[in-house]
Chains A and B, each alone.
Chain A
Amino acid sequence: MDFCSTLAKRIGFGLLLLFAVLVLNFSLITIAPGDIADTIAGVMGGANEQVLAEIRARYGLDQPFHLQLWRYLSAVAVFDLGYSYYFNTPVTTLILEKLPATLLLVFSAQIVAIIVGTLLGVLAAKKPNGAVSLVVTFLSLFGFAAPVFWTGILLIILLVSVFPVFPVGGMTDVTIEGGFFIQSLDLLHHLCLPTVTLASIFLALYSRHARASMLEVLGADYIRTARAKGVPEHGVLYKHALKNALGPVVTVAGLQFSAVISGAVVVETVFSWPGLGTLALQSILARDTPTIMGILFFSSFVVILFNILTDITLRAIDPRIKSG
């Protein structure tokens, strides 16, 4: 099968998957007892039946389920994600407002995890039974096993409360005045802890994969040849071996993208990071169906997109892969 038809098949499956995600989630949310009118009554400290009926009529919640679903799907088909009941704002605006913060967090965490994880893996592979390898294994397994909110809270206690090096949470300190440079420094300052926390889970994964595939590659004939012709050790490691060992890491990185997004929900909540995760949690608690659906639609779209991109990247790295 040639590349184009594989890609077309991939995209087709992706669209089907998106459709399934929408129908399933919409049904699940609607089945749950209670709705946005109850939540609004809750945050307002009470309401009466006219107010509740008015809210339900306004958002069409008094209509039968299949009509609500049909209305939603036909709107999404023309890229209209609807209007947030809770925030009185178009969902697209809400998501685009929060997206940069989440992307910043997710990408910095991914980059930190991939670079540091791969380096640790290579270090560990150098002497598979040495002390360094043991420490790397321990640290990465610890990061992987510890719940991410717990890691986050411990970091807050240590580096915010006991040694006040970092700010408590949020993304910027609005009382700081200054130009672009100072604002960026402030943003970096706020970004450190959430990034480290989120990266901690994936460090383990990348370092273990890097270590394993490095060990495999290091036993190969061409490495022996490289050593025999006198290539220095770091050259062997980083030039000859690493390039070939990267395949599994890239696969994992692509597949883990969904996990990074879900991890971001927790990390954002712990660090009051104003991203999609915070919005997701809040809209779930508020039963704000259009917002929840919008975020789910968006994140499944991103995950599917990244899976396809991973495929393409793998082909670029290893031309032996012909069809997926």
Chain B
Amino acid sequence: MTKRNMLLVALLAACLPGIIAWADEPKRGGTLVMSVQNTPRHLNPAVQSGIATGEPGTQLFASPLRYDEGWNPQPYLAQSWAVAEDGLSVTLNLVKGATFHDGHPITSEDVAFSVETVKANHPFKSMFEPVERVDTPDAHTAVLRLSRPHPALMLAMSSQLLPIIPQHVYGDGQDPKTHPQNSENVVGSGPFKLVEYKRDQHIILERYEDFFIPNRPYLDKIVMRIIKDGSARTIALDNEQVHVSGFEELPRDLLRLRKNADLNVSGEGYAAIGSIVWLAFNTQQGKTADKRVRQAIAYAVDRDFILQAIMLQTARAAKTGIHPGSPFYDDSVNGYDVDIDKANRILDEAGYARGDNGVRFALTVDFGWESVKAYAEYLKPQLKKIGIDVTVRASADFPSWAKRISNHEFDMTIDNVFNWGDPVIGVHRTYSSDNIKKGVIWSNTQQYANPRVDELMKLAGATYDIGARKRHYAEFQQILADELPIYSLYASPYHTVANTTVGNPPNSIWGTCAPLDRVYLKN
């Protein structure tokens, strides 16, 4: 290389960051059209969980914290926070000058009110159950007093789990669950305010000019179009009638969308939503009460085949009930790679001899909705190889399936359960022996009980030391991989599909259930 060339390279190298910075400078203005898949019951996440409310809800309401892509808490409505030495209180220092969409200041009283409302009305009781009270020494300081150390509190103070709602609106004495301002005239604290919500049609949001982060959000408006049909959304994205769509998970649509050079199809994020599809066993009644039967079935099921042939390589394997994107996921557990001979051997040794027709015994497998039907049907020929005669039971709709499973009237079922942030919130419920609750779907419907597993959950849920938590959850996952109350298949392949004209497409651990204040349109 000549000296002159070297100089040129050096000059270019010096300019490059500048050029990149210039190219990435967010632009202000524009209307983002986003598609959402379901009509929310209403827009207030304090009393309604779920993705349908989360996508608009996180635009309308701000939470104390937000999370970056590496699961690190970031300041949001709380500019700083501190956990006390004894772990029994968490102090939030709120941003000064923040206001609700009606201009009223956001104070620590509102934080206290929001915590109380969520604690009393939200279905996930484990989020704020240890919070005894919230002290408000001054308008910008809120101190959450805990009955025991509660590390799950940090994630429970982010995204849609703790929206800060105005006490002067939602504390007027009406039941917050049916408050008229949950769907219209919403008074929020987030980057966007509500213009119009038309059920089954759209939700229109507009920038809140006095949002507490200066110059944000970049977008003037977000139009959320409610399009339930997957192929209609795919066509809308292809035709640029929609800029962004989150939670896209249908393999064929994803493959098709990837072919469009004008679209970014990204599987990043969504780890905190933590949606996992698994095969659950009834561990108390019937043949599946025998651990060896469950293990033999796990060896007979070919997870790789499911990932390749049914999921078309869009999804990631999950060997445990904790999402593979979570810091607590333990990849070293036995994944039960397919081994038909071993499965047959286990059943032979357990004394389940084959009858004249080659059948050892019969089992049923349930499924509750169309998208998981293929796995239930796949089990029939596959388990025939190990002498189990499987009957696939369809349910008319979700409530029928939920009734059957929650009343423990099943052998096996395909299920899809969400982590919702910290394992304490969405994982413990599946295994905890004191959560065997008849009639409650997504409780411990497997009726699994192991004192050591209970103890490990208690330990991991009561220390802020991430190293210790990882150790406890590792042992927890090892035991569960051996005893197999559930056999995990894969993490739902949630993707965010965004037109290339969209800058900073959402990629948070909460997917599109996170504030879109940094998203902008390039032209």
Task: Please state if B426 and A270 are interface contacts (CB–CB under 8 Å).
Answer: no
| Interface size counted on chain A using CB atoms at 8 A | 49
Q: Which candidate, B236-244, B351-359, B450-458, B515-523, is the interface stretch facing chain A?
A: B236-244
Least CB distance from B446 to A in Å reads: 15
CB contact between B199 and one of A47, A171, A274 (< 8 Å): that residue? A274
CB contact between B402 and one of A38, A164, A284 (< 8 Å): that residue? A38
Task: Please state if B39 and A48 are interface contacts (CB–CB under 8 Å).
Answer: no
- For residue B306, CB closer than 8 A to chain A, the reply is no
- For residue B223, CB closer than 8 A to chain A, the reply is yes
- For residue A175, CB closer than 8 A to chain B, the reply is yes
Encode A269-296 as 1/0 by CB contact (under 8 A) with B.
Answer: 1101010001100101101000000000
- For residue A1, CB closer than 8 A to chain B, the reply is no
- For residue B228, CB closer than 8 A to chain A, the reply is yes
Contacts A42-B441, A270-B229 given; indicate if A34 touches B403 (C-beta within 8 A). yes
Least CB distance from A309 to B in Å reads: 29
The CA of A186 and the CA of B64, in the complex, are separated in Å by 42
| Interface size counted on chain B using CB atoms at 8 A | 56
Interfacial chain B residues near A88, Cβ < 8 Å? 41-42, 178, 182-183
Contacts A174-B202, A175-B223 given; indicate if A48 touches B125 (C-beta within 8 A). yes
The CA of A86 and the CA of B241, in the complex, are separated in Å by 30
Encode B172-191 as 1/0 by CB contact (under 8 A) with A.
Answer: 00000010001100000000
- For residue B440, CB closer than 8 A to chain A, the reply is yes
- For residue A121, CB closer than 8 A to chain B, the reply is no
Task: Please state if A34 and B426 are interface contacts (CB–CB under 8 Å).
Answer: no
Task: Please state if B441 and A161 are interface contacts (CB–CB under 8 Å).
Answer: no
Interfacial chain B residues near A33, Cβ < 8 Å? 399-400, 403-404
Task: Please state if A175 and B33 are interface contacts (CB–CB under 8 Å).
Answer: yes
- For residue B396, CB closer than 8 A to chain A, the reply is yes
Task: Please state if A282 and B39 are interface contacts (CB–CB under 8 Å).
Answer: yes
Interfacial chain B residues near A164, Cβ < 8 Å? 239
Task: Please state if B31 and A175 are interface contacts (CB–CB under 8 Å).
Answer: yes
Contacts A43-B50, A168-B236, A174-B202 given; indicate if A48 touches B443 (C-beta within 8 A). yes
Contacts A33-B403, A46-B124 given; indicate if A156 touches B235 (C-beta within 8 A). yes
Interfacial chain A residues near B223, Cβ < 8 Å? 174-175
The CA of A235 and the CA of B41, in the complex, are separated in Å by 58
Encode A49-92 as 1/0 by CB contact (under 8 A) with B.
Answer: 10110000000000000000000000000000000001111000
- For residue B338, CB closer than 8 A to chain A, the reply is no
- For residue B309, CB closer than 8 A to chain A, the reply is no
- For residue B398, CB closer than 8 A to chain A, the reply is yes
Interfacial chain A residues near B39, Cβ < 8 Å? 282
CB nearest neighbor in A for B42: A88
Least CB distance from B117 to A in Å reads: 14
Task: Please state if B420 and A34 are interface contacts (CB–CB under 8 Å).
Answer: no
Interfacial chain A residues near B226, Cβ < 8 Å? 272
Task: Please state if A47 and B440 are interface contacts (CB–CB under 8 Å).
Answer: yes
- For residue A45, CB closer than 8 A to chain B, the reply is yes
The CA of A33 and the CA of B405, in the complex, are separated in Å by 12
The CA of A33 and the CA of B202, in the complex, are separated in Å by 32
Interfacial chain B residues near A41, Cβ < 8 Å? 123, 402, 440-442
Which chain B residues numbered 381 to 440 have a C-beta less than 8 Å away from chain A?
396-404, 406, 417-418, 420, 426, 429, 437, 439-440
Please name 20 further chain A to chain B contacts, defined as beta carbons within 8 Å, in addition to the given A44-B123, A52-B439, sorted by A numbering: A32-B399, A34-B401, A41-B402, A42-B441, A45-B50, A45-B123, A46-B418, A46-B443, A48-B440, A49-B437, A52-B440, A156-B231, A156-B235, A167-B241, A169-B236, A170-B227, A270-B229, A274-B198, A282-B39, A285-B397
A-B contact pairs, 9 of them (CB 8 A): A34-B403, A46-B417, A48-B123, A51-B123, A94-B199, A161-B238, A161-B239, A170-B202, A274-B200
Q: Which positions in A face B, CB cutoff 8 Å?
A: 32-36, 38-49, 51-52, 86-89, 94, 97-98, 153, 156, 160-161, 164, 167-172, 174-175, 269-270, 272, 274, 278-279, 282, 284-285, 287
